[in-house]
Structure 1
Amino acid sequence: MYSWFWSAQIVEQGAESACLFNSNGCPILSVVFSSTTFLFLFLPLVISSYYLAGATRWRNLVLLGASLFFYAWGEGVYLGLMLLSIGFNYWGGLALGGTLPGPRRRLLLAGTVGFNLLLLGGFKYANFAVDSLNQLLSLVALAPPGLQPSQLSVIHLPAIQLQPIHLPIGISFFTFQAISYLVDVSRGQARAQRSLLDCGLYIALFPQLIAGPIVRYHDIARQLRHRSHTSIRFAGGALLFLTGLAKKMLLANPMAGVADQVFGLPTTELTPLLAWSGSFAYTLQIYFDFSGYSDMAIGLGRLFGFELLINFNYPYTARSFREFWQRWHISLSRWFRDYLYIPLGGNRRGPGRTGLNLLLVFLLCGLWHGASVNFIIWGLLHGCFLVTERGRLGRLIAGWWRPCQHLYLLAGVLLSWVFFRGNDLSHSLGFLQAMAGFGSGVPWLHPLGLFWNKATILAALVGIVAATPLAGKVHQGVLRSHGESRNGRALLCLAQACWGFFLLTGCAMELAAGTHNPFIYFRF
């Protein structure tokens, strides 16, 4: 049983506040999981309607309608993009599931996958591509032919103008899900979905629609038509949802307050200790933010009878970057492994090709997270760590004392998160310079006490413990000791109910106080 206690777009960072409203001025925050509208209006109405609907087909219709409404409330007219994705991939799946000869099937798969990538690229990377091209053009000059050197005049190429393109929330997630559906059908690992309703539900299911986890079609195909509903599953889903909500509201948000303040300072004013504390706060923030959302998505899925795979398994307890990516954002790393790394040849073509494949995969992993140089560097850093760990460095690390292995991983993660969080490349490099002790900040200008108080220190200490499987092991031990008798099970159920009520009360108090930060991964 997954631990009931603590389970395991892109523009610059300033766009986080821009994600509060869509292009039509509709408040996106009103339908995110950590909002009063979602918790006390949308979710109760959907659950009531779902269980009143009766048959699975009608329940699927309720869920699809709720999912489309959920997305439309946050994205307005961009619901049309979602409907286009559903319709196109439904047709593509039927075509790939037919009796096509091999070459035509491969051509059709390339075309349908290419269309999905074109949509993703157009919305997510067009502005980045134009900006990069303009920077290149600024370095290029043309000289008219036939002129003597003394008569030379240089013509600079004009910059390409492109208005900022809105990035629909969650487009990276539902596009990757659609691609996995097409590839699974083409490989014969799943049958083409004959029901447009069920295909639409797979792509648009609201619990994991806008921030994952990435659900693979063959993992959920049977559940679209046949799933069981029990009180135990419902209660477990509700408790897991509350656990994820508490991760976000009670741990990620306090850490976000510290990280935002530290990363908002000029890097020339940072001391090494302050810079390291800011990176540490962001390390906890992004973990509890994203793993909290994943827990909420998995818990919501259980409320409606779906079993979604876990997305985090205590990644900060890893002892290498290879192990880290087996525990962090598991659905994404498995997606890249099965749909890119292995088709490229994986590790079957020698060390050189393996290293190249890893670097390419993590370059694209960085780009998937965001269209900026910072994310490219972040991805390549992780790729370089993985490549070197396959050689002499990996054998060296394997012989270290285990705490030193953990310190190696944590130090590398803390440093790489600076590129993930930094406003731009120069800001990230300045932040790393401060962490290395080459900054010019003085302790009395920005003392730690301005950023860390009793509440944030307590949240950090709880977060450190919660980022390990300690609580889960305690829970499993209690189950083994007292879960056999009827009275023991009753007491455990009562304890879990009380714990859930405690979490809900704490989160409600935070909501009432108006403390909220958007989920980081909404921007992807």
Structure 2
Amino acid sequence: MLFNSLDYFIFLPLVFLTYWVLFKNKLTSQNLFLLFASYFFYGLWDWRFLFLILGSTLVDFIAGNKIYTTEKVNIKKIWLGVSILFNLGLLGFFKYYNFFIDSWVDLMELSGYTVNNTYTLQLILPVGISFYTFQTMSYSLDIYYGRLKPTTNLIDFATFVGFFPQLVAGPIERASNLLSQITNSRIFNYEQCKQGLKLILWGLFKKIVVADSIAPIVDDIFANYGDYSASTLLMGVTLFSFQVYGDFSGYSDIAIGTAKLFGIELMSNFKFPNFSRNVAEYWQRWHISLSTWFRHYLYIPLGGSRVSKLKSVRNICIIFLVSGFWHGANWTFIVWGGIHALFYIPVFLMGRNRIYMDTVVAENSWLPSLKEVAQIVFTFTLITFSRVFFRSESITDAYLYLKQICTHFSWEAYSHPQGYRMIDYLILLSIFTVYEFSIRRDERSPFKFKSKIVRFLLYSIIILAMLLFYDDQVDRSFIYFQF
């Protein structure tokens, strides 16, 4: 079930009304109902994969309690190993099995051996497996490191793992935030629900009007890059930067907004990354739940930046390569991660990786300075360049795409086969960027205007834009479902 589908807009009000009308002030009933609704929501994709979620839930529930109750360090490590091996085993089999087989076959052929590739399997990637396996692993890891006490209530824990707003594409929540809310009483809060509906509306706008509307143009340019000039290819990857941002941050806004309707606050996952002044700031603002996961559970255990510069650089490389591999079973993602490591390392060595942690661009003014504009443009250009590898089907396609830019450098007007007018989308993205800049101080308040008339007009424009730009011929699934 997609957030931007008619099914969801029938499902959500029914769950909301049942949750607050029938189970008001009944915590156990609320959690049990949320669990049922979440499994129903997920089961509509493929009910068989519910067994994977159940397996991950049971293993980490047992492992967490065993880690906490045993006094022997070796036994704690064994149960932690069970949690990690089970979750990474699920992820590795369904997501990476064929990748490793194909890579092994390619390596053998490069060495001069002919290998019959008969070991690959026709596997379907379970939606959300990269997200919920990391979420359950973080629970066991937090207990092992003494940051968290386990819950003894299986229903509460299962609800934490399967909570439907963030089940299939995050944010990847920590138990200290989400589970603690699930185990505590929740009361209806009108203001919280109103904020949630605003975030849902803004997320749908970013998905339908921004991401989905430019998707056909991006698809055409990347599928036929050999036929287009450098100007068109540059435009294609720039539009993809807006598409992937609108798509994924839109999903996160809808997830956070939906959770608010049930009295639960999820962590922010995006904080206007397109206005970042260097690559380090970008990764503090883009897919925050994944970035913080890797920092807490991989980078810091490796020594983080407390070790020598050389080892810190090693750790940075590991983090970005693993992050790239997390995104998909393709060498393009690994190269994409490696490119970001190369972008990040100079910022780290110059000691500028933490200078923008608590500030936004043009914090005390309406407009950024020329220096800030230059920093934003440079950072956005680097990020956009890397996305050639993120979007391409193979390393060869990415290389040829970039080669086409360098060797066919000409400026020609792009014309989409189905008549999409580029000027419409350039105006749209310009207005969108300016509006986002105006609200850059608070990612959870997209409509922060005192005037009711202004808010009403803005809501009306957004709803009208969604109706005008909605195209039932476009694939409406979210990009990060494939990860």
For normalisation by structure 2, the TM-score amounts to 0.89
Q: Which residue of 2 aligns with 1:353?
A: 311
The answer to whether structure 1 residue 413 and structure 2 residue 383 are counterparts is yes
The answer to whether structure 1 residue 278 and structure 2 residue 236 are counterparts is yes
Contact kept? 2:313, 2:345, Cα under 8 Å: yes
For 2:444 and 2:338, the matched residues in 1 are separated by 38
For 2:334 and 2:443, the matched residues in 1 are separated by 40
Distance 1:478 1:429, change over 3 A: closer
Shift of 1:256: 1.2
For 2:19 and 2:310, the matched residues in 1 are separated by 53
- Matched positions, count: 465
Q: Which residue of 1 aligns with 2:254?
A: 296
Percent identity of equivalent pairs: 32
Instruction: State the SS of the aligned residue for 2:176.
Output: helix
Q: Which residue of 1 aligns with 2:80?
A: 109
Q: Which has the higher contact order (CA 8 A, sep 6+)?
A: 1
Q: Which residue of 1 aligns with 2:220?
A: 261
Contact kept? 2:95, 2:125, Cα under 8 Å: yes
Q: What do the CA deviations read for 1:406-435 (whole angstroms, capped 9, x no partner)?
A: 222011011001111112111111111223
How do 1:117-156 and structure 2 match up within 5 A?
117-140=88-111, 156=114
AA of the residue aligned to 2:226: T
Q: Which residue of 1 aligns with 2:13?
A: 44
Q: What do the CA deviations read for 1:276-296 (whole angstroms, capped 9, x no partner)?
A: 110111010000100000000
The answer to whether structure 1 residue 380 and structure 2 residue 351 are counterparts is no
The answer to whether structure 1 residue 431 and structure 2 residue 389 are counterparts is no
For 2:41 and 2:142, the matched residues in 1 are separated by 27
Q: Which residue of 2 aligns with 1:181?
A: 139
The counterpart of 2:477, out of the listed 513, 518, 522, is 518
Contact kept? 1:258, 1:452, Cα under 8 Å: no
Q: What do the CA deviations read for 1:304-349 (whole angstroms, capped 9, x no partner)?
A: 0001111100101111110100000011100000000000000111
The answer to whether structure 1 residue 462 and structure 2 residue 462 are counterparts is no
Distance 1:440 1:282, change over 3 A: same
Q: What do the CA deviations read for 1:246-272 (whole angstroms, capped 9, x no partner)?
A: 11011111121221111121x332211
How do 1:266-345 and structure 2 match up within 5 A?
267-345=225-303
Q: What do the CA deviations read for 1:135-190 (whole angstroms, capped 9, x no partner)?
A: 1122345xxxxxxxxxxxxx745434212311100100000000111111122212
Q: Which runs of 5+ in 2 are unaligned?
A: 357-369
The counterpart of 2:194, out of the listed 217, 235, 251, is 235
AA of the residue aligned to 1:321: V
For 2:111 and 2:2, the matched residues in 1 are separated by 46
Distance 1:109 1:423, change over 3 A: same
The answer to whether structure 1 residue 85 and structure 2 residue 44 are counterparts is no
For normalisation by structure 1, the TM-score amounts to 0.83
Instruction: State the SS of the aligned residue for 1:366.
Output: helix
Q: Which residue of 1 aligns with 2:44?
A: 73
The answer to whether structure 1 residue 171 and structure 2 residue 171 are counterparts is no
AA of the residue aligned to 1:201: T
The counterpart of 1:198, out of the listed 156, 178, 188, is 156
AA of the residue aligned to 1:296: I
Contact kept? 1:35, 1:511, Cα under 8 Å: no
Q: Which runs of 5+ in 1 are unaligned?
A: 1-30, 142-154, 484-490
Shift of 1:471: 6.9
Distance 1:82 1:448, change over 3 A: closer
Contact kept? 2:233, 2:405, Cα under 8 Å: yes
Q: What do the CA deviations read for 1:175-218 (whole angstroms, capped 9, x no partner)?
A: 00001111111222121111111111111110001111111111
For 1:474 and 1:136, the matched residues in 2 are separated by 46
For 1:514 and 1:230, the matched residues in 2 are separated by 38
Distance 1:501 1:321, change over 3 A: same
AA of the residue aligned to 2:311: R
Shift of 1:357: 0.4
AA of the residue aligned to 1:164: Q
Instruction: State the SS of the aligned residue for 1:235.
Output: helix
Contact kept? 1:252, 1:286, Cα under 8 Å: yes
Bigger radius of gyration, 1 or 2?
Answer: 1
Shift of 1:470: 4.3
Instruction: State the SS of the aligned residue for 2:274.
Output: helix
AA of the residue aligned to 2:15: V
Shift of 1:53: 1.7
For 1:302 and 1:78, the matched residues in 2 are separated by 27
Q: Which residue of 2 aligns with 1:100?
A: 71
For 1:447 and 1:351, the matched residues in 2 are separated by 50
Distance 1:443 1:474, change over 3 A: closer
Distance 1:441 1:261, change over 3 A: farther
Contact kept? 2:198, 2:447, Cα under 8 Å: no
AA of the residue aligned to 1:359: C
For 1:442 and 1:409, the matched residues in 2 are separated by 23
Contact kept? 2:199, 2:446, Cα under 8 Å: no
Q: Which residue of 2 aligns with 1:225?
A: 183
Q: Which residue of 2 aligns with 1:58?
A: 29
Instruction: State the SS of the aligned residue for 1:163.
Output: coil
Q: Which residue of 1 aligns with 2:359?
A: none
